[in-house]
Amino acid sequence: MNREKKINEEMLARAASYLGLKEIVGKDNNPVILDMFVEIGHSWVKDDETSWCSCFINFIAKRCGANISGELNARSWLNVGIATQYPEIGNVVVFWREKKESWKGHVGLFMGYTVNGDIYCLGGNQNNEVNISVYPKLKLLGFRILTFAH
């Protein structure tokens, strides 16, 4: 098994262990989500209302020994790992939000395609929780193969 496949498997297993993790509605915050921010170096974040999709992928990647972006913006993942047009399950997938030229985006783990080519994504902050959701193929910015941190 090559090293990248090992990362994919570890990332998927770890991410899947958080399926169902949700933000807490109201003034309270989910301490598990806040701890993820702390672990990746963003202890200034004090609520689970802060966008946390990139935080989640950084947290998972760090725990698996893979390279991380260290940033909270989803598009930062376009500079991590190796670009690919032929993703495997567990590769990082990055989408744009609002406008393609915007700084806004979403990041998660590629889980496959629907019959019409849309993309299944396992990620955090998808409807305020960790789940598997479908994203339109038209919003795809890129796929990344993560490598082990040195």
What single letter denotes the amino acid at residue 3?
A: R
Q: Which of left, alpha, beta for 20 (phi over 0: left; psi -120 to 50: alpha)?
A: left
What is the domain partition of the chain in residue ranges?
A: 3-145
To the nearest 10 degrees (0 to 180), the angle between helices 31-39 and 53-63 is: 60
pLDDT > 70: percent of the chain: 99
pLDDT at 4: 79
**Residue 5 banded pLDDT, cuts 50, 70, 90:** confident
pLDDT at 1 over 60: no
**Considering the entire predicted model, what is its pTM?**
0.96
Q: Which helix (H) or strand (E) holds 56?
A: helix 53-63
CATH 3.90.1720.10 for the 3-145 domain, yes or no: yes
Closest by CA to 21, choosing from 72, 66, 59, is: 59
Closest by CA to 104, choosing from 74, 146, 76, is: 74
Assigned token pair, 80: 């991590």
**Residue 97 banded pLDDT, cuts 50, 70, 90:** very high
